Structure 1
Amino acid sequence: MSGRFPDKAAARRHVWERLEREGAARPPLPAHGRIPNFDGADTAARRLFTLAPWRDAGRIKVNPDTAQFHVRLEALRRGIEVYVATPRLAAGFRRIDPARIPAERLAEAADRRTWDAWSAEVDLGALPQMDAIVCGSVAVGPDGGRAGKGAGYSDLEFAILMELGQRPVPVATTVHDLQVVEAFPTEDIDQRLSAIVTPTRAMEVSATAVQPACIDWQRLTEADIAAMPVVAALRERPSGGVPSRRRPDRPSTSPMPPGRR
């Protein structure tokens, strides 16, 4: 396990450089600027599904990155419905239902380059309660802290589910062992990990911090919201009885903090 870092950006740089230096990164390359694909991603995916609640789930939300292709594929093979947010939330969410897909085409359905033929758009109001979540990560800490590639979309996806009134569910990630570091600072808007799964081990986090309860609208500009129609639609919905939502009367035009975008 690597050392402590003063911020997420330093942890990301360390992980990207080490994965490439030690030959553990897999296409698409370079690893820098991405949720990195890694050697053993298929093994980590299979190990994830030995853990509850992923093992027993009926539906899960999974990120669209290549590093979690095998997570999506393994879930579909097990008969689990997979919900994916489209890259950058540009087209909302899609449902991949294995009951409607021939077994020999499951790999196509799990691949974001070809899943449009095997998935369907899901309106916000039709998103069901998830049983568990899997997110991609660049760096992770044993305390459940997570650093993505710095755009903030994965945390926003979690917050969207909370805004819709869903109950929080455990969040896991699959990573290479080189992506596990000792520590780095996190923020209160960050989703926290309940499990970290690598090709060699599964680490269940014994004590996770409180998960974010809503979107922090102050961090989104009008341009951010316009680029994500699902977020724009959510802003127009009634609160739905979610008292923890922090929605300003007029969304802030101040940019998201450096490193979040």
Structure 2
Amino acid sequence: MNTCTFRAPFFNHLKHQSSNSLSIFQYSTNNSFKMNNSKNNPQLSFDESAYEAERLRLDAKARESMAIEAAEIEDDPKGWKWVIRKRIWDFMEASNIAQFPRPVHHRIPNFVGAPAAADKLSRLEVFLEANCVKVNPDTPQKQVRFLTLNGGKKLLTPQPRLRTGFFSVLEADTLNPSTMNEACTSVGVAKHGRPIGLDEKIKVDLIVIGSVAVDPKTGARLGKGEGFAELEYGMLRYMGAIDDSTPVVTSVHDEQLVDDIPVEKLLIHDVPVDIICTPTQVIFTNTSIPKPQGIYWDKLSPEKLSQIKILRQLKAKIEGETGQKLPTGPSEKLPPTAQRRQRQKR
């Protein structure tokens, strides 16, 4: 039995506001590509003006949506996080340092210079010495995933939003040059990765995490607000795959560095970062913020639990091993975007 089962933090939780990202992929494939017909060689050309017009429309829609959210979260103790997120997302779009997929609102934003930041990350001693690296599945960290595999390391990647599975392990010796790049995408992870369960015996040497904003002086970090990075971290703690000494690194644009994340307002499950890599610099935060010790079940809402099968399995496993019923967090109202996704699945 894993000794982590009996730690107090497992009778705690992660509460977060789930917000689904807007996507222009469907529009692009239907409207931004035009067929150029030659005699026997039809080709697709990309309509940049149509793409940009739709991006701007969706960006305006995202801003309007977030304005409504901001009004609704005035009394939310986490409302200050959305103020910072919105400022960063807005600035990245306005200054055109945002990269596809756009708009970057409600995402871990892709940014100009992401490959350069990844290159700096790959030169870190903690990366060079790592045998297994856990990397988030977001677009700005795609190059980190590639460099992990290309360096002969084991790559651990979560299924997006943990709603379709748990983690997948990819190993360089099972791939060839033509499949390695594909393996760095969410589709490729599902195709080439080996799914693992909660009983997998694995040691993770380094965690790479995506961020919307991060404070270089304290290591305080904000994600996109769904809390999946914290859930992933908590489950890895449960598995014994990581501990307090496991370095946490993030790659961001320099404009995502902030100085107004109040450490005293961070929640017990918020994951701080030890190292920040940008396109121009590497920052060692020497963070003093405690790292989460597990999953804090007493704050995990029934609605969020119902979305993630692996969490329900873990809860049942712990209750079966301890003979004690775990607490449940307060109910939360899911954002309209999340509710629409559930209805579409029916």
TM-score for the superposition, normalised by structure 2:
0.68
In structure 2, what is the Cα distance between the partners aligned to 1:33 and 1:87?
Answer: 14
| Cα separation, partners in 2 of 1:29 and 1:127, compared to 1, 3 Å | farther
Which residue among 142, 150, 157 is the counterpart of 1:69? 142
Structure 2 counterpart of 1:176:
253
Sequence identity, in percent?
Answer: 32
2:192 to 118, 123, 142: 118
Partner AA of 2:229 in structure 1: S
Q: Which structure 2 residues correspond to residues 13-24 of structure 1 after superposition, within 5 A?
A: 13-24=86-97
2:127 is the counterpart of 1:39? no
In the alignment, the residues of structure 2 paired with residue 147 and residue 191 of structure 1 have an alpha-carbon distance, to the nearest angstrom, of 9
Q: How does 1:15-164 map to 2 (within 5 A)?
A: 15-90=88-163, 91-142=165-216, 143-164=218-239
SS in 2 for 1:54: helix
Question: Does the Cα contact within 8 Å between 1:219 and 1:257 map onto a contact in 2?
Answer: no
C-alpha distance in structure 1 between counterparts of 2:333 and 2:251, whole Å = 27
Q: 1:217, 1:248 within 8 Å by CA — same for their partners in 2?
A: no
Change (3 A) 1:127 1:150: farther
**Kept after mapping to 1: 8 A contact 2:131/2:205:** yes
Give 3-state SS (helix, strand or coil) of 2:187's partner: coil
SS in 1 for 2:96: coil
SS at 2:128 equivalent? coil
The match for 2:316 is: 236
Structure (1/2) with the larger strand percentage:
1
Report deviation, 1:236. 2.0
Structure whose CA Rg is larger? 2
Matched residue, 1:207: 287
3-state DSSP of counterpart to 1:173? strand
Deviations along 1:96-126, whole A, 9 cap, x unmatched? 1111000232110001133322111111111
Q: Which runs of 5+ in 1 are unaligned?
A: 1-5
Residue 248 of structure 1 deviates from its aligned partner by 5.8
For residues 197 and 252 of structure 1, what CA distance do their matches in structure 2 show?
A: 35
Runs ≥4 residues deviating over 6 A:
239-242
Q: When you count helix as a share of all residues, which structure comes out higher?
A: 2
**In structure 1, C-alpha distance between the alignment counterparts of 2:267 and 2:209, rounded to whole Å:** 17
- Are the equivalent residues in 1 in contact too, given 2:252–2:278 (CA < 8 A)? yes
Deviations 1:12-67 (A, max 9, x none): 11110111111100000001110000011111111002112112111011111111
**Residue of structure 2 equivalent to 1:3:** none
What value does the CA root-mean-square deviation take over the aligned residues? 2.3
Q: Secondary structure at the match of 2:194?
A: strand
How far did 1:127 drift? 4.7
Call closer, same or farther: CA 1:177–1:111 in 2, change over 3 Å.
same
Q: What is the CA–CA distance in structure 1 between the aligned matches of 2:330 and 2:128, rounded to whole Å? A: 43
Offset of residue 255 of structure 1: 2.5
